[in-house]
């Protein structure tokens, strides 16, 4: 499989027609202003030189509302990428934008320049949550914009936030169900953080907003992740990318930030997959010494942060010994279990079977 590389440019808040209560793109992205379009080509050329041969490259414009920029400005950015697309060095472009900045002619214009993916900042599909978050549109607009993007044959991404003002678990799950009905190709899940300089920081200071705890955020993201995986929708990111700006003292006021948030959620999913497997295995084998097997690439997720999954499984099943073995050359996302003296798993649970209807 080819190495897929995204060369990202951040255009913080460019094109935004309102201030969403939670958003401070300058802190999130670490960039204070969008790049000068004249520098885009040089940055791409530099990045391409540092990549391994054969990497499949895409250019992305993130962090603002790309399609809400004046068309002449969009063209300047897109034109800077064209020489690389024409030479086959860049395969395609992706942009992130607001759902209320989508129309047919605008999408046709993007496609003519090689844009193949549009990621929509959906955040929620609950009317009250959208209103309380300062989004200034309703859920039906998201559905229409999404369908238009799909009709054009573009790849569609949805960016969702959990723990927004006026939200709760039922609304997060309802949003996920509506997203599944729309059917994007990919989803990102971000826990809401309280960032300095945002309206949410004021609400927090006044005691009118309480963020999720880290555990609540992990548990909620896990429920959404399993819903999306069951529906065959890829979750390509959970939690913000750590940046020096975000981790700078005083920028993050409150909220469930963790630099490895996605790993925490994945570790929780592996733990539950192992619990289901061990329960079944122990119906036929009475033992308190077990080996768990996973693909080598999933080893850290199965073990968990500070070996938390090992401790948790040992306590839950009263195990004297539990070792996790990584295997090479296998598929990802399965879990196996076997007796302590055996060298191979005796029972295996794939992710697909684990998320099947029996395990709801
Ligand atoms: S969430 Fe998106 S639309 Fe809202 S202010 Fe931030 S970049 Fe702009």
For ligand 1, whether the C-beta of 133 sits within 6 Å is: no
Residue (of 26, 27, 95) closest to 61 by Cα position = 95
For ligand 1, whether the C-beta of 267 sits within 6 Å is: no
Strands (E), 184-330: 186-191, 194-195, 234-238, 252-254, 289-295, 321-327
List of domains in the chain:
4-258 (3.20.20.70), 266-359 (3.40.1260)
Query: For the segment 163-179, what is each residue's pLDDT rounded down to a tens digit?
Result: 999 999 999 999 999 99
Rounded Cα distance, 19 and 247, in Å: 22
The pick from 9, 15, 17, 25 for probing ligand 1's pocket by mutation, whose C-beta has the most ligand atoms within 8 angstroms, reads 25
pTM of the model: 0.92
For ligand 1, whether the C-beta of 262 sits within 6 Å is: no
For residue 64, the CA-to-ligand 1 centroid distance in Å is 6
Q: At what angle do helices 169-182 and 139-151 cross, to 10 degrees?
A: 30
For residue 97, the CA-to-ligand 1 centroid distance in Å is 8
The pick from 20, 142, 192 for probing ligand 1's pocket by mutation, whose C-beta has the most ligand atoms within 8 angstroms, reads 20
Query: For the segment 227-270, what is each residue's pLDDT rounded down to a tens digit?
Result: 999 999 999 999 998 888 888 888 999 999 999 999 999 999 99
For residue 96, the CA-to-ligand 1 centroid distance in Å is 10
Which residues lie below 8 Å from residue 113, measured CB to CB, with a gap of 6+?
A: 75, 78, 79, 81, 82, 93
Q: Is 267 helix (H, G, I), strand (E, B) or coil?
A: helix
Residue 357, pLDDT score: 57
For residue 210, the CA-to-ligand 1 centroid distance in Å is 21
The pick from 11, 15, 16 for probing ligand 1's pocket by mutation, whose C-beta has the most ligand atoms within 8 angstroms, reads 16
For ligand 1, whether the C-beta of 80 sits within 6 Å is: no
Name the pairing type of β-strands 289-295 and 252-254: unpaired
pLDDT in tens, the chain (360 residues): 668 899 999 988 777 878 899 998 777 777 777 889 999 999 999 999 998 888 899 999 998 899 999 999 999 999 999 999 999 999 999 999 999 999 999 999 999 999 999 999 999 999 999 999 999 899 999 999 999 999 999 999 999 999 999 999 999 999 999 999 999 999 999 999 999 999 999 999 999 999 999 999 999 999 999 999 999 999 999 999 888 888 888 899 999 999 999 999 999 999 999 999 999 999 999 999 999 999 999 999 999 999 999 999 999 999 999 999 999 999 999 999 999 999 999 999 999 999 875 554
For residue 23, the CA-to-ligand 1 centroid distance in Å is 6
């Amino acid at each position: 499989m080819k190495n897929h590389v995204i060369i990202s440019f951040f255009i913080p808040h460019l094109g935004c027609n309102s201030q969403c209560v939670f958003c401070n793109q300058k802190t999130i992205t670490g960039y204070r202003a969008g790049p000068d379009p004249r520098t885009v080509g040089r940055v791409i050329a530099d990045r391409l030189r540092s990549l391994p041969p054969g990497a499949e490259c895409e250019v992305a414009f993130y962090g603002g509302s790309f399609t809400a920029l004046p068309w002449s400005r969009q063209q300047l950015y897109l034109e800077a990428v064209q020489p690389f697309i024409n030479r086959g060095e860049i395969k395609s472009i992706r942009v992130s934008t607001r759902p209320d900045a989508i129309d047919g002619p605008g999408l046709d214009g993007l496609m003519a320049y090689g844009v193949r993916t549009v990621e929509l900042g959906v955040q929620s599909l609950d009317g009250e949550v959208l209103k309380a978050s300062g989004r200034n549109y309703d859920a039906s607009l998201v559905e229409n914009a999404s369908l238009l993007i799909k009709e054009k044959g573009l790849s569609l991404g949805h960016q969702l936030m959990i723990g927004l003002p006026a939200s709760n678990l039922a609304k997060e799950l309802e949003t996920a169900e509506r997203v599944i009905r729309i059917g994007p190709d990919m989803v990102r899940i971000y826990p809401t953080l309280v960032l300095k300089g945002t309206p949410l920081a004021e609400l927090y200071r006044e005691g009118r907003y309480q963020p999720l705890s880290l555990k609540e955020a992990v548990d909620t993201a896990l429920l959404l992740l399993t819903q999306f995986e069951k529906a065959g929708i890829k979750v390509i990111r959970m939690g913000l990318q750590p940046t020096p700006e975000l981790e700078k003292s005083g920028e993050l006021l409150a909220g469930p930030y963790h630099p490895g948030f996605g790993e925490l959620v994945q570790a929780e999913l592996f733990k539950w997959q192992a619990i289901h497997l061990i329960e079944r295995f122990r119906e036929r084998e009475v033992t308190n010494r077990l080996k768990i097997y996973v693909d080598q690439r999933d080893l850290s997720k199965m073990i968990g942060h500070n070996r938390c999954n090992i401790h948790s499984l040992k306590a839950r099943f009263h195990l004297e010994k539990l070792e996790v073995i990584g295997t090479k050359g296998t598929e990802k996302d399965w879990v196996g279990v076997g007796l302590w003296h055996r060298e191979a798993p005796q029972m295996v649970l794939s992710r697909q079977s684990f998320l099947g209807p029996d395990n709801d």
